[in-house]
């Protein structure tokens, strides 16, 4: 039975989408993805056109690791695509990945964007940047540390402190400054909030547009998505009200997170899976990524889209993401310890 027909009737939180034609002599590869199908479709279409290998995608919004664990040795999963270092390390720690040794991938993906053991590889990066009001914020340089400065009291908005994007940033602060200093900083940031954390990153831009705050923390790619959103033109207004500041551009660099890939531990189409992974790290795929998702390619020498270039230059923090990920538990605990999600307390 073709894998798509085998799975289609069993999904409750997922939608299985076969993007290409039925499997041909060149075979197929099965992808379990946290990335939205419409974002990766152009990549998979290009892969099939180049190789003749059909792609089948199972999109999940949660429970990917648990699903592969439950499927066990009979899992049809070949390649895992996801966003955020936490989900990549979760897959590795959950035992649903296996190491890949590929000269091609290792050549394309810088060392600090891949697992030292070869269990996952970054494909794109996104900066955890500061959105600043064009009208009310004169400065064009900022640091993460400065966000705790009382001069910003009542002027900062963020999403939930426990969201993985923020936990990643807070974990990077622990990696650079230690737990005690990060607790002090996080307390200062909490007390500079203009309201309790809520919404998503786009909502933070909306809050700046509405005058509810002057600064916000958000991912860089959301600005590109908002600026080009033809279906919801009000989002263009939100994005046009802000400028992107890249924190710590003059010292260690801006915290970045990744989207990435991993080879499933029981991949039935292992050879095709590695071909797909090598394609995704290649120049052709990296260019498609840059144009489709407004993220930064990990392959050195591949430019971001013109929209992303308009934000200015990013200097990524080169601290290995594996090291940052090792501090995520502490970061999450600090969010609760300082009562971050309760908002300002003085």
Q: Region 328-334: what's the mean pLDDT? A: 97
The band of 21, judged by pLDDT with boundaries at 50, 70 and 90, is very low
Quote the pLDDT of residue 112.
Answer: 86
Specify the DSSP element, H or E, that contains 81.
strand 79-83
Fold match, 3-124+258-302 / 126-255+311-342:
yes
Backbone CA torsion sign across 147, 113, 298, 52: negative
The band of 322, judged by pLDDT with boundaries at 50, 70 and 90, is confident
| 56 pLDDT more than 80 | yes
In 149-158, which positions are buried (b, 16+ CB within 10 angstroms) versus exposed (e)? eeebeebbbb
Judge whether 190 and 139 are in contact, CB under 8 Å: no
Helix (H, G, I), strand (E, B) or coil at 169: helix
Q: Region 12-19: what's the mean pLDDT? A: 41
How far is the CA of 208 from the CAs of 39, 194, 204, 235, 345, in angstroms? 27, 11, 6, 12, 22
> Of 35-44, 160-169, 217-226, 242-251, which range is least confident?
35-44
Tell me the CATH class for 126-255+311-342. Answer: alpha beta
Q: What is the pLDDT of residues 202-239, one digit of tens each?
A: 999 999 999 999 999 999 999 999 999 999 999 999 99
Q: What is the pLDDT of residues 101-122, one digit of tens each?
A: 999 999 999 998 999 999 999 9
Helix (H, G, I), strand (E, B) or coil at 264: strand
Tell me the CATH class for 3-124+258-302. Answer: alpha beta
* Cα–Cα distance, 276 to 313 (Å, whole number): 30
Q: Region 260-267: what's the mean pLDDT? A: 97
Q: What is the pLDDT of residues 280-304, one digit of tens each?
A: 999 999 999 888 889 999 999 999 9
Helix (H, G, I), strand (E, B) or coil at 16: strand
The band of 268, judged by pLDDT with boundaries at 50, 70 and 90, is very high
Domain locations in the chain?
3-124+258-302, 126-255+311-342
- Give the whole-number percent of the chain exceeding pLDDT 90: 83
Of 153 and 325, the structure prediction assigns the larger pLDDT to 153
Judge whether 129 and 219 are in contact, CB under 8 Å: yes
What does the longest C-alpha to C-alpha distance in the chain come to?
Answer: 67
Judge whether 215 and 193 are in contact, CB under 8 Å: no
């Amino acid at each position: 039975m073709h894998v798509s027909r085998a799975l289609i009737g069993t999904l409750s939180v997922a939608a299985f989408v076969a993007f290409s034609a039925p499997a041909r002599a060149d075979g197929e590869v099965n992808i379990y993805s946290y990335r939205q199908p419409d974002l990766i479709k152009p990549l998979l279409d290009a892969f099939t056109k180049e190789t003749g290998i059909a792609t089948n995608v199972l999109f999940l919004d949660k429970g990917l690791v648990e699903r592969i664990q439950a499927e066990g040795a009979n899992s049809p999963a070949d390649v895992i695509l996801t966003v955020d270092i936490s989900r990549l390390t979760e897959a590795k720690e959950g035992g649903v990945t296996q190491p890949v040794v590929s000269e091609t991938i290792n050549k394309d993906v810088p060392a600090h964007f891949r697992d030292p053991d070869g269990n996952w590889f970054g494909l794109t990066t996104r900066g955890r940047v500061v959105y600043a009001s064009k009208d009310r914020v004169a400065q064009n340089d900022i640091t993460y540390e400065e966000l705790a400065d009382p001069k910003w009291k009542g002027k900062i908005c963020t999403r939930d402190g426990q969201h993985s994007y923020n936990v990643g940033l807070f974990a990077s602060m622990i990696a650079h400054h230690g737990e005690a200093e990060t607790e002090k900083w996080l307390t200062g940031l909490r007390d500079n909030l203009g309201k309790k954390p809520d919404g998503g990153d786009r909502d933070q831009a909306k809050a700046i547009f509405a005058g509810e705050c002057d600064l916000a923390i958000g991912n860089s790619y959301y600005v590109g998505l908002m600026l080009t959103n033809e279906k919801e033109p009000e989002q263009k207004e939100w994005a046009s009200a802000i400028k992107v500041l890249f924190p710590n551009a003059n010292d260690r660099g801006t915290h970045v997170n990744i989207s990435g890939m991993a080879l499933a531990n029981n991949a039935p189409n292992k050879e095709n899976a590695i071909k797909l992974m090598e394609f995704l790290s290649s120049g052709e795929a990296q260019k498609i990524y840059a144009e489709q998702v407004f993220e930064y390619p990990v392959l050195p020498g591949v430019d971001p889209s013109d929209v992303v270039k308009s934000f200015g230059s990013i200097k990524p923090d080169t601290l290995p993401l594996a090291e940052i990920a090792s501090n995520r538990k502490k970061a999450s605990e600090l969010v609760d310890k300082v009562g971050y999600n309760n908002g300002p307390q003085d």
